Amino acid sequence: MKYRDLGKRGLRVSAIGLGCMGMSHAYGAPADHREMTELLAKAVDMGYDFFDTAEIYGTPDNTHDNEELLGNALKAYRNKIIIATKFGLRFDMESGRVPYPLISDSRPTTIRKAVEGSLRRLQADYIDLYYQHRPDPQIPIEEVAGTMQDLIKEGKVLYWGLSEAPEADIRRANAVCPLTAVQNRYSMMARWHETMFPILEELGIGLVAFSPLANGLLSDRYDAASHFDERTDYRAGMPQFQPESYKKNYELLQFIRRIASERHVTPAQISLAWVLCKKPWIVPIPGTRKSDRLKENAGAVDVLLSEEEVKQIDHALDTMSMSDVYGGTKLTVK
């Protein structure tokens, strides 16, 4: 494993992190805790030290399942790993819809309740990196940043960040309490946040790229016959996994396969290497439940693409057709 600085606030993490949401939520029935505990231990042995979760990554029976899983599985490694978690959202479980609609709530009292709950479940004295999960249109971002500033002074939070926030929020929040990271969806199929790169560079903020494999499509492990349970797996409704989308994405997948074959690596490794080589302050956090994929993803740090190769790939991506890609669940204001 290699390591890199996530922005310019002093937080150094493994160049590939591990997104843990899918162990509990959105990718089928939740995984067995014993198996995931073994997987997380393997991740640490491989050099992963950056683990991503959130207070809402759970199941209908246990809405905080993922934080509890990580708290139990990683407590023996607590002093040598970085755990990122998030506040400010809850699922509307009563809606009867999947994906569950999201309800935002970043009131200071809610944040303080959330941080205490996450600390307890993670079995920790502090949270390494704490994100506002989504902007709250009813709470000024300065108020959120002020609460983070207080929590940092109290030692309950070390670094903080925003997820899926607009440029204005980033600037306003950073002016009150400097941000360490912004977490956004980013992959070869989801490049709309590249317009934000200049501001992140200007302010010294790192980018944590979630869904860097387009929810798994760019791993090249799926085809039109792949089936996802619509009751528990968000991929069942994602545009890139619809049967007709495989024809639309044929050119993209062939393009990635060709580069991977030339390099004697896998499509997933090329897709992750592209993210890593875009900027030295970007850290992708692919998720997995399988040890072979854990190893495969880690191997992407050894695939080096030159600046010219990245430009050539970008040009190809700009000019080829592809399907839409899942852009996330919309917020419900209540």
Catalytic residues: 57
Question: Any idea which residue has 């290497």 for tokens?
Answer: 273
Q: Of 157, 129, 131, which is closest to residue 49 (Cα–Cα)?
A: 129
CB 51 within 8 A of CB 84: yes
* Closest to 183 in 3D by CA, of 238, 121, 123, 135: 135
Q: What is the 3-state secondary structure (H, E, C) of the chain?
A: CCEEECCCCCCEEECCCEECHHHCCCECCCCCHHHHHHHHHHHHHHCCCEEECCCCCCCCCCCCHHHHHHHHHHHHHHHHCEEEEEECEEECHHHCCCCCCEEECCCHHHHHHHHHHHHHHHCCCCEEEEEECCCCCCCCHHHHHHHHHHHHHCCCEEEEEEECCCHHHHHHHHHHCCCCEEEEECECCECHHHHHHHHHHHHCCEEEEECCCHHHHHHCCCCCCCCCCCCCEHHHHCHHHCCCHHHHCHHHHHHHHHHHHHHCCCHHHHHHHHHHHHCCCEEECCECCCHHHHHHHHHHHHCCCCHHHHHHHHHHHHHCCCCCCCCCCCEECC
SS3 assignment, position 60: coil
